[in-house]
């Protein structure tokens, strides 16, 4: 699959998802789920201090499962992010940083995250600066920093 085909699939093929209330600390955590052939997909947003951390897993596994369907799963993850992140940001007191990470030992995942990062950058607009940075234990972290706010 070429990059153009990937981007088309990434934007057009998400699973239906739903918000799961009662799973979280209201105002600090948000969970969205989707049933997939690979298992239950959970996309999680955590707001701590000035940061929103985003993560996802399928049936509790954060690593690549090898069960296929990665493009549709990533499409769903980025659909949840682009639709729900603005709502979450408007409901919290302050956001200076948004981040998510990938295991550097999973180059296909890092590549998918890089491609999807442009959608998030476009969503956030010019007041947010994107940085891809190395993290602990060989991981890669994708950050957006609010340029209008002093970073801590």
Helices (H), 13-69: none
Convert the pLDDT of each residue in 58-85 to its tens digit: 998 887 777 768 889 989 999 999 999 9
Q: What is the pTM of this model?
A: 0.84
CB 65 within 8 A of CB 56: no
Least Cα distance to 84 among 108, 56, 58, 60 occurs for 56
Convert the pLDDT of each residue in 9-62 to its tens digit: 555 689 999 999 767 777 789 999 999 998 999 999 999 989 999 999 999 888
| Residue 81 three-state SS | helix
Q: How far apart are CA 145 and CA 17, in angstroms?
A: 28
User: Is the pLDDT at 103 greater than 70, yes or no?
Assistant: yes
CB 48 within 8 A of CB 88: no
């Amino acid at each position: 699959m070429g990059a153009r085909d990937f981007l088309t699939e990434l934007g057009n093929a998400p699973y239906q998802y739903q918000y799961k209330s009662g799973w979280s600390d209201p105002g600090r955590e948000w969970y969205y789920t989707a049933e997939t052939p690979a298992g239950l997909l959970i996309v999680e947003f955590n707001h701590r201090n000035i940061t929103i951390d985003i993560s996802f897993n399928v049936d509790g596994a954060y690593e690549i499962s090898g069960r296929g369907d990665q493009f549709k799963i990533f499409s769903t993850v980025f659909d949840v992010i682009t639709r729900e992140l603005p709502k979450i940001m408007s409901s919290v007191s302050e956001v200076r940083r948004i981040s998510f990470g990938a295991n550097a030992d999973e180059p296909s995942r890092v590549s998918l995250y890089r491609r999807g990062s442009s959608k998030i950058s476009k969503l956030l607009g010019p007041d947010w600066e994107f940085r891809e940075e190395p993290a602990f234990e060989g991981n890669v972290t994708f950050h957006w920093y609010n340029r209008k706010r002093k970073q801590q």
